[in-house]
Amino acid sequence: MPQTAPLRTVHVGSFSITYLPDGGGVVVPTALFPASAEGGWDRHQELLDQDGKLITTIGGFLIQTPERKIIVDTGIGPVSIDFPGFGPFSGGRFLDSFTQTGVDRQEIDTVIFTHLHLDHVGWTSIEEDGQRVLTFPNAKHLATQIEWETWAGGDNPAGPHPDTVQKPLDGQLIFIQDGDEIAPGITVLQTPGHTPGHISLKIESEGQILYLVADVIHNVAQFEEMDWFVAFDMDPEVARQSREGLYEALSQPNTLVACNHFADEIFGRLTNEDGRWVWHPLT
Ligand SMILES: [Zn+2]
């Protein structure tokens, strides 16, 4: 039975990348993937729980290089949210996960947002002595400009909260773009479609690579079902181009892939077997 994915650290050359679970969601599969019909899931029964629901994990990452300590995405935050027709999503464990790494919040030098959906920005700020403060007070906070401009000033329930996310970030965000090297070995790849300014990261050290693809791919079934976009993809066709445009690179040797929302295990490898994309979760 699928479950939310655990905290796990993988090594890529001299870097370590730790997945920091925050919580998860229990989702109606045909709602999350509107192009999938009930029968389509007959081929993917192992991905559903006993009630026929999809389990998604919600979390972020800590990347440690010899010089840098970087957070990528911050989960959904200490909330429970019911999206009508989809199912409940909840978080709350992100900082506990982070504490297990032994790193201090003050030590984080950079926070990168792959995009600004609510389940990636939830721990942007915390309440301290009655004040809203950035969770990682010494970090530069990075996102793309188009992503910020998509959401800023609005109050979309799928986007960054006006008080706990937008306000603390206003005037603080540093805009990044395709090809930027955020730190030695960590490069921005624009992968739009899910949101207009969605990015992935290529993380490379000593000949080993990890692609952190965030919400380019939501579920293992998508490797087989090329038409299955996610209901939250703001431009499904562009999202599909981003997704399929990455597969060749993801399937190279010495290459790991991290997909934020996978159940059970978010790290894995992709291969192409007789024209079919096959996902191999890390064991
Ligand atoms: Zn997401």
Dihedral sign for Cα 83, 157, 233, 254, please.
negative
- What is the Å distance from ligand 1's center to 217 Cα? 10
- What is the Å distance from ligand 1's center to 233 Cα? 10
Contact of 271 with 252, CB cutoff 8 Å: no
- What is the Å distance from ligand 1's center to 57 Cα? 9
Neighbours of ion ligand 1 (CB under 5 A): 117, 119, 215
- What is the Å distance from ligand 1's center to 129 Cα? 30
* Residues across the chain: 283
Contact of 88 with 122, CB cutoff 8 Å: no
- What is the Å distance from ligand 1's center to 117 Cα? 6
- DSSP element (H, E) containing 208: strand 208-212
Tens of each residue's pLDDT in the chain, 283 residues: 899 999 999 999 999 999 999 999 999 999 999 999 878 899 999 999 999 999 999 999 999 999 999 999 999 999 999 988 899 999 999 999 999 999 999 999 999 999 999 999 999 999 999 999 999 999 999 999 999 999 999 999 999 999 999 999 999 999 999 999 999 999 999 999 999 999 999 999 999 999 999 999 999 999 999 899 999 999 999 999 999 999 999 999 999 999 999 999 999 999 999 999 999 999 9
- What is the Å distance from ligand 1's center to 191 Cα? 14
pTM: 0.97
Place of tokens 């739009």: 192
- DSSP element (H, E) containing 29: helix 29-32
In terms of phi and psi (left: phi > 0; alpha: psi -120 to 50; beta: otherwise), the region of 206 is left
Dihedral sign for Cα 171, 91, 6, 117, please.
negative
- What is the Å distance from ligand 1's center to 55 Cα? 13
**13-68 residue pLDDT tens:** 999 999 999 999 999 999 999 999 878 899 999 999 999 999 999 999 999 999 99
What is the structure's pLDDT at 38?
77
What is the structure's pLDDT at 108?
98
What is the structure's pLDDT at 83?
85
What is the structure's pLDDT at 39?
85
What is the structure's pLDDT at 259?
98
- What is the Å distance from ligand 1's center to 214 Cα? 7
- What is the Å distance from ligand 1's center to 235 Cα? 15
Question: Domains along the chain?
Answer: 8-281 (3.60.15.10)
- What is the Å distance from ligand 1's center to 76 Cα? 9
- What is the Å distance from ligand 1's center to 140 Cα? 22
What is the structure's pLDDT at 151?
98
